[in-house]
Amino acid sequence: MARDDGYLLDNRQAEAGTRFDALAALFDASTFRHFETLGVAEGWRCWEVGAGGPGVAAWLRERVGPRGRVLATDIDVSWTEAAATDGVEVLRHDVGRDEPPAGPFDLVHARLVLVHVAERDAALHTMIQALRPDGRLLVEDADPALQPLICPDEYGPEQELANRLRTGFRELLRQRGADFSYGRRLPRLLREAGLADVEADAYFPVTSPACDVLEAATVRQVRDKLVAEGLATDEEIERHLANVEAGRLDLATSPMISAWGRRPADDGPRP
C-alpha cells in the first residue's frame, strides 16, 4: 500500500489525552529514574521533544527550579499547552524538519517520538546539535519488533483477536514510515553520532490497568482506519473493546528502550 505520511495518533483527537495519561502512568517513573541518573539539577536548561502531555515538562520544571528553563515542543501542542508556566515555554516545532530551537541545552529528551518520525536521522542530529558540550541526551523509543504481541500469552480466542488487531495497528504505523526495530539501534546510533558514556536499558510492562486504558483509547482512535483498510471489522473491534473492559486480557506494551549519552566537553561546533 502507498505510504501515508500523516501521524496516525493525532493529538487533536479526544482519545489523545487518555493515551497521554496512560503512557504517563506506564513510563513516567522509568523516565524520571533516568533523569535522576543523568543528574538533572537546579539551573539546567532542558528541551522536552514531542512532549505530548504536560507531565514530563512539569517534573523537569520542578527539578531545575527558578534559575532553569524547560522548553516543551511538539508538532501539535494542544495537550502540551497545559505545561506552560513560569519557567516552561511551549513551542510548536517539528524536530525532523525545523532548525533546532535556541539553546544550548543541558538535557534533551524524547520519548516515543523518533520511532514515528520519517526524518528520524535528521531529528536525532537536531537534538544532538542542540546540546551544550557535556550536555546529556536521553532518547526512549519502543521496539515492537522485539515483542510484537499485545497478548504474549495467547491462550484463547480473545487473546488471538487482540493480537490480530495489534497486527493491523502495526500495519497502519508501517504505512506511515514507523520503524519497528528502531529502539534496539539507539545505543549504536548515539555512539556513531559522537556521544560518550552511552548506556541503555529497557522497560517492559506485561500487564497493568494503564495498559488496558491505553489499548482501549488507541483502538478507538484508529478504528475507522482499521475498518477502512480491511484490517478489522466493526464487530471485531467492539468485541475486543468489551474484552478489554471486562479485564480478561493481560495486555503488554512493546519494550521501551532508553538510551543516553553525553556530548563530549571538547566537541566543537556541529554543522
Range of weakest confidence among 45-54, 79-88, 138-147, 202-211: 79-88
Q: Could you write out the DSSP letters of every residue in the chain?
A: -----S-SS-TTSTHHHHHHHHHHHHHHHHHHHHHHHHT--TT-EEEEET--SSHHHHHHHHHH-TT-EEEEEES--TTGGGG-BTTEEEEE--TTTSPPPS--EEEEEEES-GGG-TTHHHHHHHHHHTEEEEEEEEEEEE-TTTS--S-SS--SHHHHHHHHHHHHHHHHHHHTT--TTHHHHHHHHHHHTT-EEEEEEEE---S-HHHHHHHHHHHHHHHHHHHHTTS--HHHHHHHHHHHHTT--------EEEEEEE--TT-----
Give me the sign of the Cα torsion angle 111, 115, 117, 119.
positive
pLDDT at 53: 81
Over range 185-213, report the average pLDDT: 96
pLDDT at 15: 67
Closest listed residue to residue 186, CA positions, set 246, 128, 244: 128
pLDDT at 18: 86
pLDDT at 49: 95
Give the pairing type, strands 88-92 and 45-49: unpaired
* Whole-number Å distance between alpha carbons of 108 and 233: 41
pLDDT at 271: 42
Over range 230-257, report the average pLDDT: 95
Report the share of the chain in percent with pLDDT over 90: 73
Instruction: Give the global pTM.
Output: 0.90
Range of weakest confidence among 62-66, 128-132, 187-191, 267-271: 267-271
Range of weakest confidence among 15-29, 129-143, 221-235: 15-29
